[in-house]
């Protein structure tokens, strides 16, 4: 006689199926995300190649630019000129828009940066420029690639060094004694409500030093925002002039490896990310950030504590990037665009 399933056995099967589905969905999502990122990179390389061909076909047309100046060229302009075909959204939302930024480094020497936006709800890196107020690539220069033209002044002698891809002179190394870079006190740095600071860093030794600082000597209340390392642990500090707020990543990053660190401030919380993953979160207890007249500095803290190690690819936004945006920036910029 064939025995039927008991209620307990049926429930057990349902639980097992639920567990398998819970495991499978993230795996499938990760696979789809990886496929989309690869498609996005392919699109970006196509745009980069088209931009290079377009610019260097008539390079004299850009001779009017002063060194450090940037001009924007749209995807549609490249397409009309016959250098680029349509770019499809990897998320299936139609076609992508975008542009290239052409920055003059020297006579007949230009940096070309491609930017693509795919769909309003794209989960690909499509909003790299939204709210971007500073972007220092540190590719052998201190130019600002955000169109705000906040160029740096090398103080103390930070030297070009290899980046995370072992490419020479594509990052900056700080000695921990007197090196820092001064980016001035432009009003675009007077962020009051939301903020994102991001950088690739590689520590050397056990020490305390500023990575990105907007503040002045004295107490913590004299500062606006500070991203620093404290004995190889990353710390994000904020002040509204009366109250202070901070969060720290408890794990040491002193392993002599490159890490991608991001700190965000939203209307309600502070959040830290390391290598694309959220590592800490804390409720916001400060009001609008304090406006200070001191310059924004890289490599020096608010009490002249100097950073020791290498820094690369700094971005500052006047909004809080989402966890998805940060993860995608980490995975995308941890792969070279051009082989």
| CATH code, 174 | 2.60.120.200
Does residue 197 sit in the same domain as residue 273?
Answer: yes
Name the domain count of the chain. Answer: 2
19 located within any domain: yes
Confidence band, pLDDT 50/70/90 cuts, at residue 126: very low
**Total residues found in the chain within this entry:** 339
Predicted TM-score (pTM) of the model is: 0.72
- Residue 23: what pLDDT? 44
108 located within any domain: yes
Does residue 211 sit in the same domain as residue 141?
Answer: yes
Does residue 116 sit in the same domain as residue 169?
Answer: no
Q: What's the rounded Cα separation, in Å, for the pair 226 and 244?
A: 11
Q: Provide the percentage of residues in the chain whose pLDDT is more than 90.
A: 35
Which segments within the chain are labelled E, that is strand? 70-74, 97-106, 109-117, 132-136, 153-155, 159-161, 171-175, 180-182, 195-203, 208-214, 225-230, 233-239, 244-248, 259-265, 269-274, 277-283, 296-298, 308-317
Does residue 166 sit in the same domain as residue 113?
Answer: no
Please state whether 146 falls in left (phi above 0), alpha (psi between -120 and 50) or beta: alpha
DSSP letter (8 states) at residue 184: -
- Residue 24: what pLDDT? 41
Does residue 199 sit in the same domain as residue 238?
Answer: yes
Does residue 101 sit in the same domain as residue 173?
Answer: no
Does residue 107 sit in the same domain as residue 177?
Answer: no
State whether residue 105 is helix, strand or coil: strand
Domain boundary among 70, 102, 125: 125
Q: What's the rounded Cα separation, in Å, for the pair 296 and 214?
A: 5
Does residue 271 sit in the same domain as residue 206?
Answer: yes
Domain range for 300? 132-333
Average pLDDT over residues 48-67: 84
Does residue 159 sit in the same domain as residue 294?
Answer: yes
Does residue 109 sit in the same domain as residue 9?
Answer: yes
Torsion of CA 277, 281, 284, 285, to 10 degrees: -140
Q: What's the rounded Cα separation, in Å, for the pair 112 and 72?
A: 10
- Residue 198: what pLDDT? 96
Confidence band, pLDDT 50/70/90 cuts, at residue 116: confident
- Residue 175: what pLDDT? 92
Does residue 146 sit in the same domain as residue 220?
Answer: yes
On the CB side of 237, how many CA atoms lie within 13 Å of its CA?
26
- The answer to whether the beta carbons of residues 226 and 210 sit under 8 Å apart is yes
């Amino acid at each position: 006689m064939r025995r039927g399933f008991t209620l307990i056995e049926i429930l057990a099967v349902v639980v097992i199926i639920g567990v398998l589905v819970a495991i499978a969905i993230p795996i499938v999502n990760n696979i789809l995300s990886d496929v989309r990122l690869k498609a996005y990179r392919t699109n970006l390389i196509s745009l980069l190649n088209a931009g290079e061909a377009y610019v260097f076909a008539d390079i004299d047309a850009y001779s009017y630019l002063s060194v450090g100046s940037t001009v924007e060229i749209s995807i549609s302009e490249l397409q009309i000129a016959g250098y680029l075909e349509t770019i499809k959204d990897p998320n299936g939302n139609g076609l992508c828009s975008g542009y290239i930024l052409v920055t003059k480094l020297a006579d007949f020497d230009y940096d070309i940066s491609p930017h693509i936006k795919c769909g309003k709800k794209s989960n690909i890196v499509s909003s790299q420029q939204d709210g971007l107020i500073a972007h220092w690539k540190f590719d052998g220069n201190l130019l600002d690639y955000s169109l705000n033209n906040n160029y740096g002044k090398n103080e103390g002698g930070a030297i070009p060094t290899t980046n995370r891809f072992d490419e020479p002179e594509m990052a900056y190394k700080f000695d921990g004694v007197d090196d820092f870079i001064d980016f001035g006190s432009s009003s675009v740095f007077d962020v009051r409500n939301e903020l994102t600071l991001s950088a690739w860093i590689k520590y050397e030794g056990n020490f305390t030093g500023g990575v990105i600082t907007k503040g002045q000597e004295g107490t913590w209340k004299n500062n606006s925002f500070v991203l620093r390392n404290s004995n190889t642990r990353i710390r994000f500090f904020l002040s509204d002039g009366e109250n202070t707020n901070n969060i720290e990543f408890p794990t040491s990053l002193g392993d002599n490896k490159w890490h991608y660190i991001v700190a965000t401030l939203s209307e309600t919380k502070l959040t830290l990310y390391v290598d694309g993953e959220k590592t800490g979160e804390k409720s916001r207890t400060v009001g609008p950030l304090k406006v200070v007249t001191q310059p924004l500095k890289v490599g020096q803290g608010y009490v002249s504590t100097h950073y020791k190690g290498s820094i690369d690819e700094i971005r500052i936004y006047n909004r809080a990037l989402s966890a998805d945006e940060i993860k995608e920036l980490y995975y995308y910029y941890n792969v070279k665009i051009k082989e």
